[in-house]
Amino acid sequence: MSYSTGALENSPEPLVFDVVVVGAGFAGLYMLHKLRELGFTVRVLEAASGVGGTWFHNRYPGARCDIESLDYSYSFSEELQQEWSWSERYASQPEILRYIDHVAERFDLLRDVQLNTVVANAEFEEHTARWSVTTEEGERYSARFCIMATGVLSAAQVPRLAGLEEYTGRWYHTGAWPHERPDFTGMRVGVIGTGSSGTQLIPLVAQQAKELVVFQRTANYCMPAQNRPLDANLEGEWKTHYPERRAFARASSFGHNQVSNDKKGTEVSPLERREELERRWDLGGLYMMRAFKDIMTNADVNREAIEFVHEKIDGIVNDPQTAEALKPKDLFIGTKRLCSGTDYYETFNRQNVRLVDVKSDPIKRVTPTGLQTEGETFALDAIIFATGFDAMTGSLLRINPTGRGGVKLSERWADGPRSYLGLSISGFPNMFVIAGAGSPSVFSNMVTSIEQHVEWIATCLLHLERNGAACIEATPEAEEGWVQHVNELADKTLYRHSKNTWFYGANTPGKPVVFMPYVGGVGRYSQNISSIAAKNYEGFSIQERVDSSL
Ligand code: FAD
Ligand code: NAP
C-alpha cells in the first residue's frame, strides 16, 4: 500500500481543490469516493499515519464493534459487500482495520489521502467564498467546500491528574493505543474507567497482568456481547438479501437489523417482560436497548430491566461487596452508552483483580510509582486510561474553524453545539460536518448514518454546481428550530434524568452540559433531510455565484 506524505507537497502557494475533507475514517473515505465519482477534485487530510479513524487509533486489547459486522460495513458497493467475509459476529478492531484498508485500496482512495497531516486551522474567506485550510506544518489549501469528517469519538481525553509527568511506569490511553502491543505479563496494572473501552479491555488485561486494579468512578451496565464465529449460513443468507437488509437498516430507528420489540413493556405481563429480558440478555450486546418500545421513555419499564441486570450481576460475581459496587446506581439503563463485553463481570472473580470505587475514595494524584487515592496508595507498573473522549465536538473544536465575520466556532458554541440537521452550522457557509452533534450519529450504526450524510452532502454539492451557486449556509432560524426539535425529542426520554454522560458533554471539564445527539431515529431523520433537499434545501440560504473565478 502506498501513501502520499504531506512534507513532499509543502508549498508557499495554497493547493487548490474543490473540496478538502478532514479525516480518513469511514466518513472521510466514503466522502472522497463519492465526490470523486461526481467529478470533484478532493484532498483528504488525515492526522494519523494510516486510514481507518477510530479503528486505526483504538488498538487496545478487546477492541471490537458492538453492531453486527454484517451491518457495520459499507453498503454503497454490492461487489464489496459480496466479496468481503467477516469472521465473527462482532468484528474485532484488527479485522475492521483490514476491511477499511481493503476498501481504500479497492477504490484507489489513497492517492487523494494525505497522511501525517494535522489540520490546525480552517477559515472561510468571505471575499472569495472559499475555505482556507492550514496544517500544523504550515501547508495551505484552498477549497470551495470544507467537510469535517473528524469523528465524534476521536478526541481522546486523559484526565489532568497531578503527578502524571513524574510517573516512571508506562501509561496508555485506549484511544491512542501504541502499534506494538504492550505486554502486561507479570505487571501490576491499573485501569481507570469502566465505559465501553474499559469493559472490553479489563478481562483481557486481567489474563496477562500479575495484579489488576480497576478504578471505577461510575458503574455502567455491561451486557454480554455473545460474540461468536460468524455462521456461514447466516452470512450466505445476508448476502442473498443484502439490498433488503440495508434498506431495512436505513429506514429503522438505529440503522441496523437488530430486532426491536414493537410492544411496550406496559402492554405485557410481568412474566412476558421477564422472558423478554432473558431473551435480550441471550441475544447480547445492545439488544437490551430494544427490549421494549418504551424502555427509554418509561421509568418503571427501565427499572425492571435494571433489576434484571442487577440480579445477573449478583449471580455472576462471587463477592457480594464487589457485586454491589458493580451495580450502577441512580442510572437508567442505556442513558449512559450501554457497554457490550465478554466475561466482564466474571473477571472480578479472579484472585488478581480488585475493584476500587473512586467515587467514594477519589483519585488524588499519580505518584512516581503508582496512584494515590484519598485513602490508599497503589504501586503500579502501568496505568491504562480508558477515560473516553471529548465526544461529538472535541475534534472539531480543536480545529476551531472561523466562519463569516471572523467568528470562531468556539464562540458560536460557547453555550453548547448548535447545528442545522447536525450537518451544517449557520455562519459557516460551505462547511459540512459528517455525523455531527444534532444528527443520529452515536445513537445509530454509525456506518449507516455516515453513508446517509455523505450521500446527502454529495447530492447537495452537485445541486449547487449545476445551479451555479457559490454558497450554501444554514439560516439561523432553521438552526434554532432544529436545536429545539432535538431537545424536545430528548426531553421525552429518560436521557434527561442522566446528565452525567458524554451525550451531555459532562465528562469534559468546562464543557456546557447540553444533550447533543438526535434521538428521533435514523429512518425519521432520513425522511427529514430528504424532504428538506427536495424542497430546494429548505432552511438553507443559497447564494449565486457572482464571479466566474469562484
Ligand atoms: P473517525 O473514525 O473518528 O475518523 C476521524 C478521523 O479524523 C481520524 O482518523 C482522526 O485522526 C482525523 N482527524 C481528526 N481531527 C483531525 C485534524 N485536525 N486533522 C487531521 N485529521 C483529523 N460506532 C458504531 O456504530 N458501532 C460500534 O460498535 C462502534 N464502536 C466503537 C468503538 C470505539 C473504541 C470507538 C472509539 C468508537 C466506536 N464507534 C462505533 C463509533 C465510531 O467512531 C464510528 O462508528 C466510526 O468509526 C466513525 O467514523 P468517522 O470517519 O466519522 O470518524
Ligand atoms: P466513556 O464511555 O466515556 O468511559 C470513560 C470511563 O472513564 C467512565 O467510566 C468514566 O467515569 C471514567 N473516567 C473518566 N475520567 C475519569 C477520572 N478522572 N477518574 C476516574 N474515572 C474517570 O469512554 P469509552 O469507554 O472510551 O467509550 C466512549 C464511547 O466510544 C462509547 O460510549 C461508545 O460509543 C464508543 N465505544 C464503543 C465500543 C464498542 O463496544 N463498540 C467500545 C469502546 C468505545 P464516569 O462515568 O464517572 O465519567
- pLDDT tens, residue by residue, 531-543: 999 999 999 999 9
Query: Does ligand 2 lie within 6 Å of residue 439's CB atom?
Result: no
Domain 15-155+391-544: which topology? FAD/NAD(P)-binding domain (3.50.50)
Query: Does position 332 have pLDDT exceeding 70, yes or no?
Result: yes
3-state secondary structure 17-56: EEEEEECCCHHHHHHHHHHHHCCCCEEEECCCCCCCCHHH
Q: What is the pLDDT of residue 544?
A: 85
In this structure, the chain runs to a length of 550
Q: Is residue 159 a contact partner of residue 385, using CB atoms and an 8 Å limit?
A: yes
For 367-380, the pLDDT digits (tens) are 999 999 999 999 99
Question: Helix crossing, 26-37 with 446-466: angle to 10°?
Answer: 30
Higher pLDDT, 269 or 4: 269
Question: Does the pLDDT of residue 74 top 50, yes or no?
Answer: yes
Which ligand lies nearest the alpha carbon of 385?
2
Question: Is the distance from CB of 197 to CB of 66 less than 8 angstroms?
Answer: no
Residue 545 has pLDDT above 80, yes or no: no
Cα 156 from Cα 387, distance rounded (Å): 8
pLDDT one-digit tens code per residue, 175-209: 999 999 999 999 999 999 999 999 999 999 999 99
Give percent above pLDDT 90 in the chain: 96
Is the minimum distance from the CB of 446 to ligand 1 under 6 angstroms? yes
Q: What is the mean pLDDT of the chain?
A: 96
pLDDT at 217 over 50: yes
> pLDDT by residue (tens digit) across 473-518?
999 999 999 999 999 999 999 999 999 999 999 999 999 999 999 9
The label of the residue with cell 441512580 reads 330
The answer, yes or no, to whether any atom of ligand 2 lies below 6 A from the CB of 442, is: yes
**Alpha-carbon distance values, 334 to 315, 317, 322 (Å):** 21, 21, 22
Cβ within 8 Å of residue 241, ≥6 positions away: none
Contact 101, 1 (CB under 8 A): yes
With a 6 A CB cut-off, is 196 part of the ligand 2 pocket?
yes
The response to whether residue 388 sits with its C-beta less than 6 Å from ligand 2 reads yes
pLDDT at 6 over 80: no
Assess whether pLDDT exceeds 60 at residue 258.
Answer: yes
Determine whether the shortest distance from the Cβ of 67 to ligand 2 is under 6 A.
no
pLDDT range class, residue 250, cuts 50, 70, 90: very high
Output the pLDDT for position 515: 94
- Of 57, 119, 153, 177, best ligand 1 pocket probe by most atoms within 8 Å of the beta carbon: 153
Q: Is 192 in the pocket of ligand 2 (CB under 6 A)?
A: yes
Q: What is the pLDDT of residue 12?
A: 73
Question: Residue 548 corresponds to which cell in the numbers above?
Answer: 466566474
Q: What is the pLDDT of residue 546?
A: 64
pLDDT of residue 11: 53
- What mean pLDDT is predicted for residues 337-362? 98
pLDDT in tens, 125-172: 999 999 999 999 999 999 999 999 999 999 999 999 999 999 999 999
* pLDDT mean over 10-26: 90
CA 7 to centroid of ligand 1, rounded, Å: 25
Ligand 2: which of 337, 340, 383, 508 to mutate, most ligand atoms within 8 Å of CB?
337
Q: Which residues contact 224 (CB under 8 A, 6 or more apart)?
A: 281, 284, 285, 340, 341, 342, 344
| pLDDT per residue as tens digits for the range 386-413 | 999 999 999 999 999 999 999 999 999 9
Give me the residue spans of the domains in the chain.
Answer: 15-155+391-544, 164-385
Is the CB–ligand 2 distance for residue 502 below 6 Å? yes
| CA of 120 relative to ligand 1 center, distance in Å | 18
**DSSP assignments along 182-207, one per residue:** ---TT-EEEEE--SHHHHHHHHHHHH
Lowest mean pLDDT across 4-13, 290-299, 353-362, 418-427: 4-13
C-alpha grid cell, residue 378: 497503589
